[in-house]
């Protein structure tokens, strides 16, 4: 009589490319979510029972309370680069590995960041609404006059991989003067490659014509751009957020846009998304997109594949590719 070896059980929390499920099914017993249902906390907890791994999309909160009720769980693999849905301290204490998907979305996200910058500076959304409403009846010399991009000063808050990619686009493609602020300056070699100069946060806010936020979200960065910071910016400046919701105080930003403290903003992320602060929906000088900076098919596939590689690497081969708490990885 032959016996079959039970595959490890994993959960995929949202709908994903069928090929990803096929790859996982070669190694695991997979509970998928092809209907893309949005599970509440209780449902997520119920479905995690008996699972050793979970494929997450960056919104499922993994914390001490959940982990205490999921004793079999060994790895949570985000398909996003951000991981503020993970309580890494609690995960490490429980011996649960967290992984994310860095690098694979850098260039695509930088492309989108620059697209959002240009749309904001040149008032693309505002002018399109004007045209669609049938209000364009004649030409005028100052109609939707926007801000220069080429030759202007590009400020970047958070100079990781994506920030550096945006800097290169600005300096090399548009002849922009690039300044940045980070927890620590880049090496001289990287600064030269990016044509970027380190400044204090205050100088960054005061000097940038276009300020792009690419800083990771944490308790320390929560509302790091609020009313006081917006007040330091030029009245002609634009603010672009492709980082995470919560870095900007959205209520303060809506007021600043309404009173023209700054000229305009472009936002791909929001506090409490998918909800958007209602006042942001009322001001004309803001470009709003639904968290799509990495949304090309090739990049989203690469993100998903990296999450699969982490699950297979850790649960089958004993070593994940991009661990967030490597001490757990090392203990495997």
Q: What is the pLDDT of residue 4?
A: 63
1 inside domain: no
281 inside domain: yes
Clarify whether residues 170 and 258 are in a common domain. Answer: yes
Clarify whether residues 119 and 264 are in a common domain. Answer: yes
Q: What is the pLDDT of residue 1?
A: 46
Range of the structural domain that residue 248 is part of: 106-288
For 285-319, how does the pLDDT look when each residue is reduced to its tens digit (9 = 90+)?
A: 999 999 999 999 999 999 999 999 999 999 999 99
Give the pLDDT mean for 243-270: 97
If pLDDT is split at 50, 70 and 90, which confidence band does 6 have? confident
Clarify whether residues 116 and 76 are in a common domain. Answer: no
3 inside domain: no
Clarify whether residues 175 and 188 are in a common domain. Answer: yes
Clarify whether residues 158 and 209 are in a common domain. Answer: yes
Clarify whether residues 61 and 148 are in a common domain. Answer: no
Catalytic residues: 244, 273, 291
Whether the predicted pLDDT of 330 surpasses 50: yes
Whether the predicted pLDDT of 3 surpasses 60: no
Clarify whether residues 31 and 157 are in a common domain. Answer: no
237 burial (CB, 10 Å; 0-12 / 13-18 / 19+) is buried
Clarify whether residues 89 and 28 are in a common domain. Answer: yes
38 inside domain: yes
Clarify whether residues 256 and 140 are in a common domain. Answer: yes
Q: What is the pLDDT of residue 5?
A: 74
Clarify whether residues 138 and 277 are in a common domain. Answer: yes
4 inside domain: no
Tokens 């602020």 correspond to 181
2 inside domain: no
204 inside domain: yes
Give the pLDDT mean for 162-174: 97
Clarify whether residues 243 and 305 are in a common domain. Answer: no
- Give me the CATH number covering residue 184: 3.40.50.720
Give the pLDDT mean for 3-26: 92
For 60-70, how does the pLDDT look when each residue is reduced to its tens digit (9 = 90+)?
A: 999 999 999 99
For 123-138, how does the pLDDT look when each residue is reduced to its tens digit (9 = 90+)?
A: 999 999 999 999 999 9
For 140-155, how does the pLDDT look when each residue is reduced to its tens digit (9 = 90+)?
A: 999 999 999 999 999 9
274 inside domain: yes
Longest Cα separation, the chain? 86
For 187-225, how does the pLDDT look when each residue is reduced to its tens digit (9 = 90+)?
A: 999 999 999 999 999 999 999 999 999 998 888 899 999
Q: What is the pLDDT of residue 281?
A: 97
Domains identified in the chain, total number:
2
As a whole number, the mean pLDDT across the chain is: 96
Clarify whether residues 119 and 23 are in a common domain. Answer: no
């Amino acid at each position: 009589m032959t016996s079959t070896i039970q595959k490890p059980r994993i959960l995929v929390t949202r709908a994903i490319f069928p090929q990803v499920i096929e790859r996982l099914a070669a190694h695991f017993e997979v509970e998928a979510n092809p209907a893309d249902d949005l599970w509440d906390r209780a449902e997520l907890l119920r479905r995690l029972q008996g699972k050793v791994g979970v494929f997450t999309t960056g919104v499922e909160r993994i914390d001490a309370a959940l982990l205490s009720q999921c004793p079999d769980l060994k790895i949570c693999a985000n398909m996003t680069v951000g991981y503020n849905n993970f309580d890494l301290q609690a995960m490490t204490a429980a011996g649960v590995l967290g992984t994310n998907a860095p690098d694979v979305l850098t260039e695509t996200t930088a492309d989108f960041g620059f697209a959002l910058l240009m749309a904001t500076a040149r008032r693309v959304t505002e002018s399109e609404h004007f045209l669609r409403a049938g209000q364009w009846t004649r030409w005028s010399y100052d109609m939707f006059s926007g801000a220069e991009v080429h030759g202007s000063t590009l400020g970047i808050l958070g100079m990781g991989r994506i920030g550096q990619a945006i800097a290169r686009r600005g300096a090399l493609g548009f002849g922009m003067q690039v300044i940045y602020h980070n927890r620590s300056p880049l090496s001289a070699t990287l600064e030269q490659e990016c044509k970027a100069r380190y400044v204090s946060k205050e100088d960054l806010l005061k000097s940038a014509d276009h300020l792009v936020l690419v800083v990771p979200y944490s308790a320390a960065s929560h509302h790091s751009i609020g009313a006081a910071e917006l007040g330091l910016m030029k009245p002609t400046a634009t603010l672009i957020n492709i980082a995470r919701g919560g870095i900007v105080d959205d209520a303060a930003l809506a007021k600043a846009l309404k009173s023209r403290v700054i000229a305009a903003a472009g936002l791909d992320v929001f506090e409490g998304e998918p909800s958007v602060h209602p006042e942001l929906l009322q001001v004309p000088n803001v470009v709003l997109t639904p968290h799509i900076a990495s949304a090309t098919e090739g990049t989203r596939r690469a993100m998903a594949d990296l999450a699969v590689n982490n699950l297979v690497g850790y649960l089958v081969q004993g070593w994940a590719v991009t661990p967030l708490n490597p001490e757990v990885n090392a203990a495997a």
